[in-house]
Amino acid sequence: MVKSESVPNEMRATYAAIVALTDKVCKEHLNDEYAALCRQLAAALARKRPSPLARGKPEVWACGIAYTIGAVNFLFDKTQTLHLRADELCRLFGVGPSSASAKSQLIRKMFDMMQMDPRWTLPSKMDRNPLVWMLSVNGFLMDIRDAPRGAQEEAFRKGLIPYIQADRSK
């Protein structure tokens, strides 16, 4: 489940410009987890053929990327411990909310992303994300954390879950 930050040579400068912006905003207003996921999403976009990052302003892409990761992880929900309003996030990048929202919508469509998407959930939210742990076992949907240890180990070995939760809580 580890996502790569590798990018093609021809996209390195564009990727670096975008990541410099997301890293700055994440360092000053969010956290390292957001920064890492933003870098990974920027790299995934850079690897697309053709890369959509080749066109458009780095600020808009950076904001769209952070907006997308924020939307997946409920950043805009004021009941969350770490939260920002969407318009505040956009202001930090100097981008209009409609531009950021449109870019985010494009990104979410490209990667078939949704809120609580297990592929883009912050590591600190994994335990509380039911979509991470729900698997079909013999045709039945179940929370793999309730399965016998052997089944959990097999799911982990196959990359279906990020870790065995009982091992993490020790």
* CA atoms of 159 and 68, how far apart (whole Å): 24
Pick the CATH number of 9-117 from 3.40.50.620, 3.40.50.450, 1.10.150.120, 1.10.472.10: 1.10.472.10
* CA atoms of 31 and 57, how far apart (whole Å): 24
* CA atoms of 147 and 64, how far apart (whole Å): 38
CB 148 within 8 A of CB 132: no
- Place 1 in a pLDDT band, splitting at 50, 70 and 90: very low
CB 4 within 8 A of CB 24: no
CATH 1.10.472.10 range(s) for the chain read: 9-117
Q: Which two tokens stand for residue 116?
A: 């609580």
Q: What is the pTM of this model?
A: 0.88
Q: Which two tokens stand for residue 146?
A: 């309730």
Reported as a single tens digit per residue, the pLDDT across 107-138 is 999 999 999 999 999 999 988 888 889 998 88
